Structure 1
Amino acid sequence: MKKTDEKYGAYVQILKEELVPAMGCTEPIALAYAAAKAREVLGAMPDKVMIDASGSIIKNVKSVIVPNTNHLKGIPAAAVAGIIAGKAEKELEVIASVSEAEIAAMKKFLEEVPVQVRHIDNGITFEIIVTEYNGEDYAKVRIANYHTNIVLIEKNGEVLLEKEVQGESEEGLTDRSLLDMESIWDFVNTVDIEDVREVIGRQIAYNTAIAEEGLRGNYGANIGSVLLDMEGDNLRTRAKAKAAAGSDARMNGCELPVIINSGSGNQGMTCSLPVIEYAEDMEAGEEKLYRALTLSNLVAIHQKTGIGRLSAYCGAVCAGAAAGAGIAYLCGGTYEDITHTVVNALAIVSGIVCDGAKASCAAKIAAAVDAGILGFNMYKRGQQFYAGDGIVTKGADATIRNVGRLGKEGMRETNEEIIEIMVGEDC
């Protein structure tokens, strides 16, 4: 692929748009971002807060610990963290710097100021509306479709910013429909490493650091440590354990940032850490690692494009299949090896449900990475799943389209049932 090709520039830009730093689970951080922006617009500390959120936001914020809050969790805590300590200009690192005094102020605010949460359904999976009041004044901020996409800012009846929301399209982002497996493969083998060095290098550094912290510390159910204890210190187990340990830490209050993929830190860690572990073990060298990670990241984004940012379909499945593709590349895999790895992995674990962000995400990640590795090893040994085997059809892109249909449309009602189970009619 030539640098002058439309897809070359698009793929570089997609990586820049998707592989960004975030501290904490991205849905509560998006909520903190909206709340920080509303406080900035209001120009005062609110004496009342109203949060309207779509069901998928409620699901993904309910059970996860918000970093830099002394282990507070839930929607009010995420919003109040943004109100008290948020720096809106830092977007998904909005609460990266918080003082002890601010943590104490969050607790006091939650005790003294009414924070109401309402479940809304405007036909948009990803929607947050934060309205903050101070006496007769109010400020409102609305985010739709992706984590930093502010589409409305309003103060005291005056609209300061408004963007049209066209269903669930991601306005302002590079066209993801340009992604396909053959073009991704071409890009990976021809890209100038300098064009992806910054985003990939940062992913390696950030995600490795939080994985190591997850193995050192005591976070959640410690899935990473359990895997190493149970299965021993071998390459395949380390690949799973590193990804799981990063999630252990991130879901349970670790204050280190991660580099996300498709709006998710868990997905960013899943499609990168196993590949990094294999590359180090194989002494693959920097260039081959960067190309393998470019592959795994773009394959993960390609899969998630059809599903959407939030769904009842666990995004770790996509990222685990993508990690398998990256590992196949490191092992000298051909285009056929890569595509069959992805299809095999999807056939194994598609259907794992997303029931919000919480400690058990780490275990799902381990299962997804295992499927990616198994998918590659199956094909190396002449084994594969064929068109007609369930949702598998002829060709990786066609199978990915089936998964997108399953995740976005087929599991829509499943998502509502999960939300109902988790939170009931009252938020």
Structure 2
Amino acid sequence: MEKTIYDKYVCILKEELIPAMGCTEPIALAYAAAKGRELLGRLPERVVVKASGSIIKNTKSVVVPNTNQMRGIPVAVAAGIVGGKPELELQVISKMNTQEIEDVRNFVETIPIEVEALDDGFVFDILIEQHWGELKSVIRIVNSHLNIVYIEKNGKVYLDCVSDMREEKQDNFSVLSMEGIWDFVNHCDLKDVEEPIKLQMELNWAIAMEGMRQQYGANIGKVLNETYGNDIHNLACALAAAGSDARMNGCELPVVVNSGSGNQGITVSVPVMAYAEAMNIHGKKVIRALLLSNLIALYEKVGIGRLSAYCGAVSAGASAAAGIAYLNGEGYDTVIHTVVNALAASSGIICDGAKASCAAKIAIAVYTGLMGYEMYKKGQQFYAGDGIVGDGIEETLKNVGDLASKGMLETNNEIIKMMTKERKKSDE
């Protein structure tokens, strides 16, 4: 692999596999709010939040950590304003003290926080205005969770690159391909990439264990484990679900994300680690298996997009199965057919926001990924023309991307209407 391409792979991993506490869409709101409060220089007396439909969808039902189990956009914004530390990025509200946690509820109850839908052509779009008297700060984030594109204070614009975001630039991601990923995983110097992978192993396993120990949400992980036992096939699904159980329902442990999503970070990593433990595999092979699952998931999301009506657990579950196949010593053909089989089977699962049921979808996605692997091991596969399956892995991934980013646009709009109760009576 050419050094310039190699360096871009390393850069992608270091930029994408980062720690976050809490569901990342509310955390992005908290981050923008914390930056705006810092810019304003004081607590505001009025706040205006404008957000795209997909941000509203992914913030409506999930518990915001360090808020005493509160939910919603005003809560996420209040947490960022009251106790957010923007230098911590996606862990912006992880260091709140006891008084700040108590102050969040008071802020929500006493300070006007107006929430408006923002439809300016971006699926991922957050704009937060904070006012105190005639003072005003404005922060806008577009396309990804930390990507601030507009800064304004008291009418003076300090940054405005919104127009540059009209066509999302993914120069680094353009180097990704399945063959390139396979080459990189097998030949990279682990010293260049092991730091984020090892952190992912540590943090994501810890939250999976927390989900299995405690009561969170619908306890999908526990239900699977108690019902179907410790067979490794089931345990891999249960542990991944347990991590999401905890994360979606207020657990304050961080995770290392994939494609900006903690649930996807859990899904690509925890099942692979569960299999490695059961198979007594440790060290370099596990790291390379996790590199494979992470990079495949990142590659899949290039076409799908960060936010859509397509459930990201589906692509992550297929990627996890690829990592498990790698642990078993399988070659390139088995890996790519595992991914195709899984995507062919479960690509219809919708994303209807971040919430407790994400854990169930994760379990389904991991199960489907494992089914795709077992199919190919037994000489079975889906072929080009079987639904969305294309002629090879690259065409199949393109089809999935088109399905998610184009075909499911209206699905996403309908989901948002349902969740915000804005459907017309004639549609009910």
TM-score normalised by L of structure 1: 0.97
Residue of structure 2 aligned with 1:175, choices 159, 172, 176: 172
* Counterpart amino acid of residue 228 in structure 1: N
* Counterpart amino acid of residue 38 in structure 2: E
* Counterpart amino acid of residue 217 in structure 1: Q
Partner in structure 2 of residue 260 of structure 1: 257
Counterparts of 1:122 and 1:136 in 2: how far apart (Å)?
26
Partner in structure 2 of residue 115 of structure 1: 113
Counterparts of 2:79 and 2:303 in 1: how far apart (Å)?
33
Aligned length: 423
**CA gap 1:202/1:174 in 2 versus in 1, 3 angstroms:** farther
Cα displacement string for residues 79-99 of structure 1 (whole angstroms, at most 9, x for unaligned residues) = 000000000111101001111
Q: Any residues of structure 2 matched to 1:337-356 within 5 Å, and which? A: 337-356=334-353
Residue of structure 2 aligned with 1:156, choices 154, 166, 174: 154
Counterparts of 1:303 and 1:219 in 2: how far apart (Å)?
30
**CA gap 1:399/1:168 in 2 versus in 1, 3 angstroms:** farther
1:396 aligns with 2:393: yes
Name the SS of the counterpart of 2:164 in structure 1: coil
Name the SS of the counterpart of 2:30 in structure 1: helix
Of all paired residues, the percent bearing the same amino acid is 59
Q: Any residues of structure 2 matched to 1:379-394 within 5 Å, and which? A: 379-394=376-391
Which stretches in structure 2 are left out of the alignment for 5+ residues? 424-428
* Counterpart amino acid of residue 88 in structure 1: P
Q: Any residues of structure 2 matched to 1:4-403 within 5 Å, and which? A: 4-167=2-165, 169-171=167-169, 174-403=171-400
Counterparts of 1:47 and 1:222 in 2: how far apart (Å)?
39
Counterparts of 2:326 and 2:4 in 1: how far apart (Å)?
24
Asked if the contact 2:21–2:90 (Cα under 8 Å) also holds between the matched residues in 1, the reply is yes
Asked if the contact 2:66–2:94 (Cα under 8 Å) also holds between the matched residues in 1, the reply is yes
**CA gap 1:89/1:63 in 2 versus in 1, 3 angstroms:** same
Asked if the contact 1:142–1:153 (Cα under 8 Å) also holds between the matched residues in 2, the reply is yes
After the TM superposition, which segments of 4 or more aligned residues of structure 1 sit over 3 Å from their partners?
Answer: 164-171
Asked if the contact 2:64–2:71 (Cα under 8 Å) also holds between the matched residues in 1, the reply is yes
Counterparts of 2:389 and 2:420 in 1: how far apart (Å)?
34
* Counterpart amino acid of residue 278 in structure 1: Y
RMSD: 1.1
Cα displacement string for residues 136-191 of structure 1 (whole angstroms, at most 9, x for unaligned residues) = 111000000000000011011101222244345444x6521211101100111101
Asked if the contact 2:30–2:93 (Cα under 8 Å) also holds between the matched residues in 1, the reply is yes
Cα displacement string for residues 354-375 of structure 1 (whole angstroms, at most 9, x for unaligned residues) = 0000000000000000011110
* Counterpart amino acid of residue 194 in structure 2: R
Asked if the contact 2:177–2:299 (Cα under 8 Å) also holds between the matched residues in 1, the reply is yes
Deviation at 1:258, TM superposition (A): 0.3
Asked if the contact 2:302–2:401 (Cα under 8 Å) also holds between the matched residues in 1, the reply is yes
Asked if the contact 1:151–1:165 (Cα under 8 Å) also holds between the matched residues in 2, the reply is no
TM-score normalised by L of structure 2: 0.97
Which stretches in structure 1 are left out of the alignment for 5+ residues? none
* Counterpart amino acid of residue 350 in structure 2: V
* Counterpart amino acid of residue 7 in structure 1: I
